[in-house]
Amino acid sequence: MDTIAPQSAAPCVAETRRAWLDASVPALIFLGVWFMVLNQIVRIVWQERRRFRDKRAAHQAGFFTYLTYRFGHWYAWTPGASVKVLLVMSATLLVLGGLGHSALSRASIQESLWRSWIWIADPDGGESAHEGGHVVGVVVSIGGMLIFALLLSLITSSFEEFLWHLRHGSVPVVEGDHIVILGYDSSAVIMIE
């Protein structure tokens, strides 16, 4: 009589490890990229601190005022600055919400990052099963509403700017089969008729 030997639990553990690794790698890559961007921002602030000291501007204003001025200058003259700021704010809210949720609710980092993204996109804050998760959910939901308000503001502003350029003739006109009259006055009506 043949007996069937029970299968060991090793493949189950290996599959679980593989599934965890598959889910963790994108989360860890995202966190790594965010930390690299954060490192770059800290380096820029440090360079501005050095520039502030070299210019001996401390007698005029404090470093925070100087940094605000420099940020405003960068924001005004850098193309796409508003999109960059919005992306950094969104990623920061996502990472801080994910890390906070993971620490307070003892959930995995990938699950916490996912929940944080859901709260940013769909603010319902109370969807966590853990007590600490509720607090993080509310904070991230409020931040998500502010980020989406900024996004709508940027879209509206860029559309209004496009319309302004269109109205003031800054956009190229591509037309055919018509006559352009320069120097329009009352005698032009007689010519048109």
pLDDT in tens, 113-136: 988 998 898 877 556 667 778 888
Q: Is the pLDDT of residue 13 over 70?
A: no
| Same-domain pairing of 98 and 23 | no
Residue 6 lies in a domain: no
User: Which of 150, 106, 108, 110 lies closest to 130, judged by CA?
Assistant: 106
The reply to whether 93 falls in a domain is yes
Residue 115 · residue 137 · CB < 8 Å: yes
Contact 18, 10 (CB under 8 A): no
Do 27 and 71 belong to one domain? yes
Q: Does 182 map to a domain?
A: no
Q: How confident is the model at residue 22 (pLDDT cuts 50, 70, 90)?
A: low
67, part of any domain:
yes
The dihedral region occupied by 178, where left means phi > 0, alpha psi between -120 and 50, and beta the remainder, is: beta
Q: Is residue 58 part of a domain?
A: yes
Domain match, 91 and 68 both: no
Greatest Cα pair distance, the chain, in angstroms, is 113
Looking at the fold, whether 64 and 49 belong to one and the same domain comes out as: yes
Residues 57 and 103 in one domain: no
Return the SS3 of 171. Answer: coil
Which of residues 179 and 155 earns the better pLDDT score?
Answer: 155
Number of domains composing the chain? 2
Distance CA(148)–CA(155), nearest Å, equals 10
What does the radius of gyration of the chain's CA atoms come to, in whole angstroms? 28
Residue where one domain finishes, among candidates 78, 95, 114 = 78
> Closest by alpha carbon to 143, among 93, 86, 92, 103?
93
| H-helix segments, 81-185 | 81-105, 109-121, 131-167
Residues 88, 159 within the same domain: yes
CA distances 14 to 9, 20, 123, 165, Å, are: 9, 10, 36, 61
Record the pTM: 0.71
Mark whether 21 and 62 lie in a shared domain.
Answer: yes
Indicate the residue among 78, 112, 128 that finishes a domain.
Answer: 78
Interval 41-50: pLDDT, tens: 999 999 999 9
Q: Are residues 68 and 140 in the same domain?
A: no
Torsion of CA 119, 122, 124, 127, to 10 degrees: -60
Give the integer Cα–Cα distance in Å for 180 and 137. 60
Both 70 and 106 in a single domain?
Answer: no
Structural domain includes residue 180: no
Structure confidence at residue 192 (pLDDT): 76
Q: What is the pLDDT of residues 68-79, one digit of tens each?
A: 999 999 999 999
Q: Does residue 11 fall inside a structural domain?
A: no
pLDDT digit string, tens, across residues 165-181: 988 888 887 878 877 77
Domain of residue 37 covers 16-78
